[in-house]
Structure 1
Amino acid sequence: MRKLLTVCLGNHCRSPFAQIALARRGGTDMDVRSAGLIGKWQDQPASESMVKAARRLGYDLTGHRGQQITLHMLHWADTVLAMDTTVLETLRAICTHADEHKLALYLGDRDVPDPMGQDDAAFNHCAVLIEAGTALHLGRPPR
C-alpha cells in the first residue's frame, strides 16, 4: 500500500482536498493523509469555501480536521506532496536526510495557487487543478 502525505501551509484548503481526491481515486491501494506547516487551523474544519468547491466536484470535506505536520508524519509517508515551492522548501528544511527523497511538488513542476482570502472562483480553480493533478500520482486521468 502506498502512503501519501499532502502538505500545504495550514491544512485548511489545498492539502485536505488533495487528500480526499487522491484517496477516492487511489482506492484501497493508498493511504492518504494531509497536514499543514502551521497549526493555526489545528482541529478546525476545512475552509468553508473549499468545502463548497469540493462539493461542486462531488467530494465531501466536512469531516476534515486540520493537523500540523510532524516528523513522524514525514517518516510515515512514502511520498510527501507539497502544494507549492515555499512549502516544499520548508519541508526540506525540517525533514531528516532519510526523508528528503520523498519530497515533491504536487503538480510536478508548478505550484497549486493558495486560494485563501480570494473569492469562490479561486477555490473552484484550485480544486479543479488538484483533482486533475491526481493523475500524476495514480497513472490515470480523473473520472
Structure 2
Amino acid sequence: MRKVLTVCLGNYCRSPFAALALARRGAAELEVRSAGLIGKWEGEPANESMITAARRLGFDLTAHRGQQITLDMLNWADSVLAMDAAVLESLRTICGEASERKLGLYLGDRDVPDPMGKDQEAFNACAVLIEAGTALHAGRQ
C-alpha cells in the first residue's frame, strides 16, 4: 500500500479534501493523510465553504481536524503532494535533498488555486479540480 501525504498551507481547505478524494479513489492501494505547513487551524474542522463544496460532490469532510506537518509525517509518506509551488518549495526546504524524489505537485505541473477569501464558487471549482486530480495518483504504483 502506497502512503500519500497531501499538503497545503493550513490543512484547512485543499489538502483535507485532496486526502479524502484520493482515499476514496484509491481505497485499496493508497493510505492517505493531510497536513498544513502552519498550525493556525490545528485541531479545527475544515473550512465551512470547502465542507459545502465537498458535500456537493458526495464527500463528507466534517470529520477532518487540521494538523501541522511533522517530520514523522514526511518520513511516513512514500509521496508528498503539495497543492501549489510555494508549498512545494517550503517542503523542499524542510525535507532536504534526501527526500526530493518523493515531493511533487498534486496536479503534476500546475497549482491548485487557494480558494481562501473567495466566494463559494471558488471553493466549488477548487473541489472539482482536486477530485479530477485523483486520476493522476490512484492506480499508480
TM-score tier after normalising by the smaller chain length: over 0.9
Structure 1: gaps spanning 5 or more residues: none
4+ residue runs over 2 A deviation: none
TM-score norm. by structure 2 comes to 0.97
Distance in 2 between residues matched to 1:75 and 1:22, nearest whole Å: 19
Alignment correspondent of 2:8: 8
Offset, 1:29: 1.6
Q: Percent of counterpart pairs with the same letter?
A: 76
- SS of alignment partner, residue 112 of structure 1: coil
Alignment correspondent of 1:28: 28
Offset, 1:139: 4.1
One-letter amino acid of the counterpart of residue 114, structure 2 = D
Alpha-carbon displacement from aligned partner over 1:108-130 (angstroms, at most 9, x marks no partner)? 00000000000000000000000
- SS of alignment partner, residue 10 of structure 1: coil
- SS of alignment partner, residue 113 of structure 2: coil
- SS of alignment partner, residue 28 of structure 2: helix
CA RMSD of aligned residues (A): 1.0
Alignment correspondent of 1:38: 38
One-letter amino acid of the counterpart of residue 13, structure 1 = C
Alignment correspondent of 1:126: 126
Distance in 1 between residues matched to 2:73 and 2:27, nearest whole Å: 21
Check whether the contact 2:12–2:47 (CA below 8 A) recurs between aligned residues: yes
Distance in 2 between residues matched to 1:121 and 1:139, nearest whole Å: 30
TM-score norm. by structure 1 comes to 0.95
